[in-house]
């Protein structure tokens, strides 16, 4: 085996084994308490698919963070990355976790689900990377970043094209974008609980009325 071939093979396996970390800062926009999903765009870096592992470290500008309150029942993250037109879906695997103010994980890594995004002629123009992060039951909790680690397919003809815009979508029943937000939001008594109290009160009154009959 000649020296050039050995170098090429070594470079291939090195590309697969060495993780490439890409820091990306995003602007969360307006601060406040929200009860709806919102998407935030970011400039997408150029990455050719060579079977390597690539890690996106998203952090938030202007010292902002996402706060999950005691009242927050669910929270998930969807990262859209555009791909130059591919004739069929590409295979991606990877993990995701949220980070605290020091960059440490807030929970164990969870596997992502990859869903192809197509145009009008069924060409794949992007992929949605969806995950429900593991962050435990402690509330409130503040999120300062998102770590997305992807294993890319070995398809050098395709890439995440630079100069395009990706997007992160946060989906939750209630959450805050700080720092100018309440320390916590607690859940209100549920309608079912109030209904149960009403039924108990009604039965109690009826029992008293029946007991007072001659």
Mean pLDDT confidence for 107-117: 96
In a domain, 8, yes or no: no
Cα–Cα distances in Å, from 204 out to 177, 196, 197, 200, 213?
46, 12, 11, 6, 15
C-alpha span between 176 and 79 (Å, rounded): 19
Task: Give residue 78's pLDDT.
Answer: 98
In a domain, 5, yes or no: no
Instruction: Name the residue among 154, 135, 157, 155 with its Cα closest to residue 144.
Output: 135
pLDDT tens profile 129-141: 999 999 988 899 9
In a domain, 14, yes or no: no
Q: In the structure, what pLDDT confidence band is assigned to residue 73 with cuts at 50, 70 and 90?
A: very high
Mean pLDDT confidence for 123-149: 94
Model pTM score? 0.79
pLDDT tens profile 176-208: 999 999 999 998 765 344 434 444 444 444 444
Mean pLDDT confidence for 13-24: 68
Full residue range of the structural domain in which residue 132 is found? 19-211
**What domain count does the chain have?**
1
Q: How many CB atoms lie within 10 A of CB 31?
A: 15
The answer to whether 79 and 129 are in contact (CB under 8 A) is yes
How many CA atoms within 13 Å lie on the side-chain side of 86? 24
In a domain, 55, yes or no: yes
Task: Give residue 190's pLDDT.
Answer: 55
In a domain, 1, yes or no: no
Percent share of the chain, pLDDT over 70: 79
In a domain, 7, yes or no: no
Instruction: Name the residue among 159, 108, 163, 115 with its Cα closest to residue 136.
Output: 108
Q: What are phi and psi of 15, to 5 degrees?
A: -60, -35
pLDDT tens profile 156-179: 999 999 989 999 999 999 999 999
pLDDT tens profile 81-101: 999 988 888 999 999 999 999
Task: Give residue 191's pLDDT.
Answer: 37
Helix (H) or strand (E) holding 5: helix 3-17
Q: Residue 12 pLDDT more than 70?
A: no
In a domain, 183, yes or no: yes
Q: Residue 153 pLDDT more than 90?
A: yes
Q: Is 51 exposed, middle or buried (0-12, 13-18, 19+ CB in 10 A)?
A: middle
Task: Give residue 55's pLDDT.
Answer: 97
The distance of Cα 164 from the centroid of its chain, to the nearest Å, equals 20
**What is residue 194's three-state secondary structure?**
helix
In a domain, 39, yes or no: yes
C-alpha span between 76 and 72 (Å, rounded): 11
């Amino acid at each position: 085996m000649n020296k050039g071939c050995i170098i090429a093979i070594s470079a291939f396996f090195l590309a697969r084994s060495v993780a490439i970390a890409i820091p990306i800062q995003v602007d969360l926009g307006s601060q406040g308490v929200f009860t709806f999903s919102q998407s935030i765009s970011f400039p997408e870096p150029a990455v050719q698919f060579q079977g390597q592992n690539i890690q996106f470290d998203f952090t938030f500008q202007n010292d902002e963070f996402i706060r999950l309150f005691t009242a927050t029942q669910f929270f998930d993250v969807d990262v859209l990355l555009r791909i130059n037109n591919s004739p069929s879906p590409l295979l991606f695997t990877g993990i995701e976790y949220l980070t605290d103010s020091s960059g440490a994980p807030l929970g164990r890594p969870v596997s992502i689900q990859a869903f192809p995004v197509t145009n009008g002629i069924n060409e794949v123009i992007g992929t949605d990377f969806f995950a429900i992060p593991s962050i435990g039951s402690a509330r409130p909790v503040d999120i300062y970043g998102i770590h997305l680690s992807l294993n890319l397919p070995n398809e050098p003809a395709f890439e995440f094209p630079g100069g395009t815009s990706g997007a992160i979508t946060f989906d939750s029943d209630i959450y805050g974008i700080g720092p100018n937000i309440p320390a916590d939001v607690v859940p209100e008594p549920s309608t079912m609980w109030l209904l149960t109290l009403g039924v108990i009160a009604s039965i109690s009154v009826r029992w008293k009325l029946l007991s007072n009959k001659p």
